[in-house]
Structure 1
Amino acid sequence: MEIGRKLNGRYKITGTVGGGGMAHVYLAHDLILDRDVAVKVLRYDFRDDQDTIRRFKREALAATELVHPNIVSVYDIGEEDNNQYIVMEYVKGMDLKKYIHANFPIPYQKVTNIMDQVLSAVAAAHHSRIIHRDLKPQNILIDESGVAKITDFGIAVALSQTSITQTNSLLGSVHYLSPEQARGGMATNQSDIYSLGIILYELLTGHVPFDGESAVSIALKHFQETVPSVKSYDQRIPQALENVVLKATAKEVADRYKTVYEMQHDLATALSVERRDELKYSPASMMETTKILEPIPLGAASSKEVETAKEKKSSKSKQLENNEKLTKVKNKKTKKKKALLVLLGLFLLSIVVFFLIANSAPKDVSVPDITDMTENEATKFLSENKLILGEISEEANSDVKEGNIIKSDPKAGLSVKENTLINVVVSSGKKTVEFLDYTGESYEEVEAELNKQDFTIERKDESSDTVEPGLIISQNINENEEVIPEDTTVTFTVSTGKAGFEMRDLSGYSEKGVKDYVADNGFNVTITKEYSNEVADGQVISQEPATGTILYVGADISVVISQGPEDIPLKTVKETIQISYEELEEDLPESTNESNGEQLIPNSVTIYMEDQEHKLGTVFQQFEISEDTEIELTFILQEGEKGRYKVVRDGETIQEEEVSP
């Protein structure tokens, strides 16, 4: 995107910040609120992918619900020229990855402080049922005051669900990927906890626990290998602090912290003296041993049978001696056979009962997708899948029709037992809000706030003697009235200040006319007078302010009135000039020459002069001279004015001078 471009006529792009798997981030300036913001713009290769665009918008809207000092705020969401964009808080600083490289080794107290801020933010997100899915140092920003802020909440899911592979993005995230995500399973709150454990590991050691030549090899290590001990890197690390890493990064979800709050509480005391002798944490699943089941003893009956056989043999050898004893032995053998048959029957019966119980136990079924269904439709559909509709709660939603299901718990796709209760959230329709009283507040700030909530804003200007310009005088919606933002048009009456008047053009006004004008409008006037050769005496020469300026009651204006041309006294200046005679010879008739000799020819002299009474182009005097001649010229001049004269002799200018008073 070009530098200098304006998105929505409001956000002027001033530079680039960075980029990720699905978007580019630019630095921009909000021209309305006069502040720097970060603008995340969806990449060109995703602009035709409607699923990605829909997820991009949905996840961005979810992020706007997260208000926390350690979460980057989302200000605005929009689209222009097929550019999907999100306007976010601009954090001046660096991401945690760069912070680790620049400041490692980091004091343990600082490590726990950073992690506490991050955990607090993730806990708030989990409370709002939002899983980050892509926690890594690159998504954690550290501002110049040391405050940690998490960005890209929920945006990662859009990338993970698209069919386009982003190798660089995966390579950047796979170092912090939980084992269940690496296996292709769904992310849970405890998946975020695993990523937080890897981030803590990197803060303590300066590097990630698993690395490899490919993203696949790293992912395999996450669910095959135990995270290396941080104490093997730095023996000074307290065992209690290492235990936080070990428990957060346990391979089995059951061995990890159940909640982020639990991890945050454990980390808070990891540096305390009371826990210095703590034993190393061992996951319960790693301590279980394999149990060997003993076979069911059936030898007792067989040994009795052998004994009976021996007795039979013995009885046969002694049959002749004691017939009565033989009879007793035969009776005893018959009883033992019956007992054996009873035992065998009981054994077979137990096997049958076991299979009956096994077959009658609830089977695993997959939770079907019941979003956008009515309660009756969902009840029937769940029953067909051997599941039961559970608790029903309501939630406002602009995208799902009122009465239809927004989401289920457990979510669609999860495996549960038959007859499990499926709780649902039903749409109560579009979200309503209580409208506030904005009178007396800045219109521009209120407009920006309500635009985020999808209100339509209209402005009506009105003058006011009591409300400052730019503040809201009144609104067309009552305070505490329940409204649906996207269906509501708000009209604000905004003060333009005191009622004003356009300054009139006073050219040609007399002094009296000026005084009447200012009196009618409640102005104050200052009148000065100046000489003017162009404006008639008594009329306005100039005014201040200029014509068209908006003025209010009590405004000060100034007017200059002409006194006509200034009377300047005349002075008489005398100038004496010398005119030299130039001799010219002319041949006379022979009789003349012989009698009188040569004769002189006179010079013709013309004088021009310029003063208050004469113009230089008009002849002042004309005469002839036959010898050098001195004359005096009299000039009539004003103060500061100069006179001029010119002497022409026989058609040739011999003098031309200026004369000053």
Structure 2
Amino acid sequence: MEMGTKLNGRYKITGTVGGGGMAHVYLAHDLILDRDVAVKVLRYDFRDDQDTIRRFKREALAATELVHPNIVSVYDIGEENNNQYIVMEYVKGMDLKKYIHANFPIPYQKVTDIMNQVLSAVNAAHHNRIIHRDLKPQNILIDESGVVKITDFGIAVALSQTSITQTNSLLGSVHYLSPEQARGGMATNQSDVYSLGIILYELLTGHVPFDGESAVSIALKHFQETVPSVKKYDQRIPQALENVVLKATAKEVADRYTSVYEMQNDLTSALSADRRDEPKYTPSSMMETTKVLEPIPVAGIISKGEAKTKGNQQSDSKQLKNNTKSDEVQMKKNKRRKVLLWILLALSLLSVGVFFIIANSAPKDVNVPNITDMTENEATKVLSEKKLLLGKITKEANNEIEEGHIIRSKPEMGLSVKENTPIDIVLSSGEKTVEFLDYTGKSYEEVRVELSEQNFTVKREDQSNDTVDSGLIISQDINENEEVNPKDTTVTFTVSTGQAGFEMRDLIGYSEKSVRDYVNDNGLNGTIIKEYSNEVAEGQVLSQNPAKGTVLYGGADISVVISQGPEAILAKTVSKKIAVSYEESEETNSSGNSDESKESQLIPNSITIYIEDQEHNLGTVYQQFEISEDTEIELDFVLQEGEKGRYKIVRDGETIEEDEVTP
């Protein structure tokens, strides 16, 4: 687009800012509001793609709903000469990619400050059900004051759904692509979380974690390789800060932060001394779950032993009968007695043995140990030493027991149970949480009192709004129905200050038409007064009320005084009578003969009069005549009040009188 082109007769193109996969961005000047803006114009090769145009408009409209200090504002959308365009806030500064190159290494506190602003913006977008899908440093701007602003919200949807591939844009985005997007899956809020983790990685190390010769090779690394440790490049990075990177960039969605808000909360305390000894984060999907096998009960021992005993008894009886047949009767009796005694003794010994076998194989009674406030692994070890099993595990909120530690067991501590009895445990899920409500449209002061009583920390950010009354909540940074712990939760409400105000412009020197245009453009009630002025030219503003810089709102009254120029002073005619004397002189005439008589004749005086008044200049002749005798003349002077006139009388080239005349 050529420089000087005007879109809609309002946005004059003055320069170029950059470009992306589907649009060019130009610097323009808003001729109505007198401000610089950025204009994003759809690329030429997309102009005939109706699906892309439709998505471009839809996503642009969605972006206008995102009102957040860290999101680039969208002012206007339109079309002219088949050019689809979006008018946005112009951020004077640089993108985050250039900022990293120019300022690396970046202090950890500055890193967390930048990320907190980015996370706050993305969280607001997710709250409005908008997924960015293309988060990368090139889409994050930092102005000269250090304020971070994200751009291109929603535009990535159109690019991802079109069949046209822009190689340069893809190469720029694939470094921050989530594994599920790289596989061709649908993007979710947690896809943005992954991209944010890669951006945090780049802020800490100065480069992206994965690189390659093609977009495909880089995409493969995203779902095949683990993100390298940031401590490999800088050992001073706190483990808690690295853990934020590891959890945000986990390959499995289940291991990542469930929301941007959760990631922001974790990042906020990453530099805290309380987390100095935090262990390295390990995704749960990488850990094998230990399975406890149930012991196989011993069965059939007693019955087998009894069967064996009976078999031995029968065998011994038969043997005894065979032996007695060859002995004498007495010997038979004696031997029979001895055999019977031995049989009785054997049976007794066998019975004692069977008793001990049964006694030793039966489960013993044990007391349930105290496993309160232990972790699951610690409790499993203690129960195993008592030959008890870990049973059913349930979770319950608790304000006293640390999350992941045991609140109580069932059966309770000290009760007697048999060995191998399963002991059920209740784990603490942390402090009790509540579902956060939707407070938009409600009075901030009432909500603040209510939440403060519940131990929430409540903060306020003011923002003007033409549709929401002053003092009512426009938005909140915690989603409705989100489970939160009041004691550890800070909620920030955006509160309406009513209609947007603006500063009164300096109108001194404006023309009447310019004043009327300013009044109409800003919805003001204007009163114009006209007065004479010797200092300000006719038709220009002499004074204004209210003064320059006063904050005004639509419908406010203003008045201006416009100069009529100097006030005309009525002139009057002043007459003055002056006596002009005649000076005699003679002239001699001759006939030419020596004898001819001579005769004398009077010569007239030439009189010239000059005057100075409203209509005449002293350097210009006012009257001229001749006199041959003393003559009285009357001069008329046109003079204003307080003004003096002058006159001069010249006789035959000699000034004979000069004086002033007053009204």
TM-score w.r.t. structure 2 length?
0.50
1:611 maps to a residue whose letter is T
Aligned to 1:248: 248
Deviation by residue 1:346-385 (Cα, 9 ceiling, x = unmatched): xxxxxxxxxxxxxxxxxxxxxxxxxxxxxxxxxxxxxxxx
Aligned to 2:574: 566
> Quick check: 2:587–2:600 contact (8 Å CA) kept in 1?
no
Return the match for 1:611 from 596, 608, 611.
608
What secondary structure sits across from 2:39 in the alignment?
strand
> Quick check: 1:572–1:637 contact (8 Å CA) kept in 2?
no
Deviation by residue 1:599-624 (Cα, 9 ceiling, x = unmatched): 999999998834259x9999959xxx
> Quick check: 2:607–2:626 contact (8 Å CA) kept in 1?
no
Show the 5 A alignment for 1:413-452. Answer: none
Aligned to 1:23: 23
Q: Distance in 2 between matches of 1:185 and 1:612?
A: 106
Aligned to 1:156: 156
Q: Distance in 1 between matches of 2:207 and 2:581?
A: 102
Aligned to 2:120: 120
* Residue 44 of structure 1, CA deviation: 2.7
Aligned to 1:194: 194
The yes-or-no answer on 1:640 pairing with 2:644 is: no
Distance change (3 Å), C-alpha of 1:239 and 1:605: farther
Distance change (3 Å), C-alpha of 1:572 and 1:110: same
> Quick check: 1:95–1:138 contact (8 Å CA) kept in 2?
yes
2:152 maps to a residue whose letter is D
What secondary structure sits across from 1:565 in the alignment?
strand
Show the 5 A alignment for 1:574-653. Answer: 609-612=606-609, 639-641=646-648, 643=650, 645=652
Q: Distance in 2 between matches of 1:556 and 1:102?
A: 55
Aligned to 2:84: 84
Show the 5 A alignment for 1:225-374. Answer: 225-288=225-288
Percent of aligned positions with the same letter in both sequences? 70
> Quick check: 1:21–1:169 contact (8 Å CA) kept in 2?
yes
Distance change (3 Å), C-alpha of 1:569 and 1:38: farther
TM-score w.r.t. structure 1 length?
0.50
Distance change (3 Å), C-alpha of 1:525 and 1:245: closer
Unaligned runs of 5+ in 2: 292-465, 471-497, 503-517, 543-558, 611-620, 636-645, 659-663
Q: Distance in 2 between matches of 1:119 and 1:139?
A: 14
1:114 maps to a residue whose letter is I
Distance change (3 Å), C-alpha of 1:618 and 1:241: closer
Distance change (3 Å), C-alpha of 1:577 and 1:197: farther
Q: Distance in 2 between matches of 1:33 and 1:121?
A: 27
Q: Distance in 2 between matches of 1:448 and 1:50?
A: 39
Distance change (3 Å), C-alpha of 1:114 and 1:636: same
* Residue 114 of structure 1, CA deviation: 1.5
Q: Distance in 2 between matches of 1:69 and 1:568?
A: 81
Q: Distance in 1 between matches of 2:605 and 2:211?
A: 107
What secondary structure sits across from 1:94 in the alignment?
strand
Q: Distance in 1 between matches of 2:221 and 2:600?
A: 125
Deviation by residue 1:20-54 (Cα, 9 ceiling, x = unmatched): 22222233344444444332222233222211111
2:184 maps to a residue whose letter is G
Distance change (3 Å), C-alpha of 1:209 and 1:525: closer
* Residue 247 of structure 1, CA deviation: 1.7
Q: Distance in 2 between matches of 1:266 and 1:221?
A: 26
Q: Distance in 1 between matches of 2:284 and 2:586?
A: 132
Distance change (3 Å), C-alpha of 1:26 and 1:122: same
Q: Distance in 2 between matches of 1:109 and 1:83?
A: 43
Deviation by residue 1:436-481 (Cα, 9 ceiling, x = unmatched): 899xxxxxx98999xxxxxxxxxxxxxxxxxx97699xxxxxxxxx
What secondary structure sits across from 1:566 in the alignment?
strand
> Quick check: 1:132–1:153 contact (8 Å CA) kept in 2?
yes
Distance change (3 Å), C-alpha of 1:212 and 1:555: closer
1:160 maps to a residue whose letter is S
> Quick check: 2:588–2:598 contact (8 Å CA) kept in 1?
no
2:275 maps to a residue whose letter is R
Distance change (3 Å), C-alpha of 1:47 and 1:545: same
Aligned to 1:96: 96
Show the 5 A alignment for 1:438-587. Answer: 495-497=525-527, 560=568, 562-570=570-578, 572=580
Q: Distance in 1 between matches of 2:228 and 2:597?
A: 134
* Residue 70 of structure 1, CA deviation: 1.9
> Quick check: 1:576–1:633 contact (8 Å CA) kept in 2?
no
Deviation by residue 1:267-292 (Cα, 9 ceiling, x = unmatched): 1222222322222223334445999x
> Quick check: 2:607–2:625 contact (8 Å CA) kept in 1?
no
Show the 5 A alignment for 1:13-92. Answer: 13-92=13-92
Deviation by residue 1:135-159 (Cα, 9 ceiling, x = unmatched): 0111112233322221111101212
Q: Distance in 1 between matches of 2:240 and 2:32?
A: 50
What secondary structure sits across from 2:232 in the alignment?
coil
Aligned to 2:489: none
1:182 maps to a residue whose letter is A
Q: Distance in 2 between matches of 1:133 and 1:643?
A: 99
What secondary structure sits across from 2:573 in the alignment?
coil
* Residue 180 of structure 1, CA deviation: 2.3
What secondary structure sits across from 1:62 in the alignment?
helix
* Residue 56 of structure 1, CA deviation: 0.5
> Quick check: 1:197–1:248 contact (8 Å CA) kept in 2?
yes
Deviation by residue 1:168-211 (Cα, 9 ceiling, x = unmatched): 22222122112222233222222111110110001111111222
Aligned to 2:131: 131
Distance change (3 Å), C-alpha of 1:49 and 1:606: farther
Distance change (3 Å), C-alpha of 1:132 and 1:556: closer
> Quick check: 1:574–1:635 contact (8 Å CA) kept in 2?
no
Q: Distance in 2 between matches of 1:117 and 1:448?
A: 26
Q: Distance in 1 between matches of 2:128 and 2:282?
A: 31
> Quick check: 2:608–2:625 contact (8 Å CA) kept in 1?
no
Q: Distance in 2 between matches of 1:115 and 1:279?
A: 22
Deviation by residue 1:541-562 (Cα, 9 ceiling, x = unmatched): xxx989xx9xx9x999996464
1:23 maps to a residue whose letter is A
Report the RMSD for the aligned CA atoms in angstroms: 5.0
* Residue 164 of structure 1, CA deviation: 2.6
* Residue 117 of structure 1, CA deviation: 1.7
Deviation by residue 1:510-563 (Cα, 9 ceiling, x = unmatched): xxxxxxxxxxxxxx999xxxxxxxxxxxxxxxxx989xx9xx9x9999964644
Show the 5 A alignment for 1:405-416. Answer: none
Distance change (3 Å), C-alpha of 1:572 and 1:238: same
> Quick check: 1:471–1:495 contact (8 Å CA) kept in 2?
no
Unaligned runs of 5+ in 1: 292-433, 439-444, 450-467, 473-491, 504-523, 527-543, 622-630, 646-655
Matched residue count: 396
Distance change (3 Å), C-alpha of 1:564 and 1:199: same
* Residue 59 of structure 1, CA deviation: 0.6
Q: Distance in 2 between matches of 1:633 and 1:609?
A: 12
2:606 maps to a residue whose letter is M
What secondary structure sits across from 2:119 in the alignment?
helix
* Residue 567 of structure 1, CA deviation: 2.2
1:111 maps to a residue whose letter is V
> Quick check: 1:606–1:619 contact (8 Å CA) kept in 2?
no
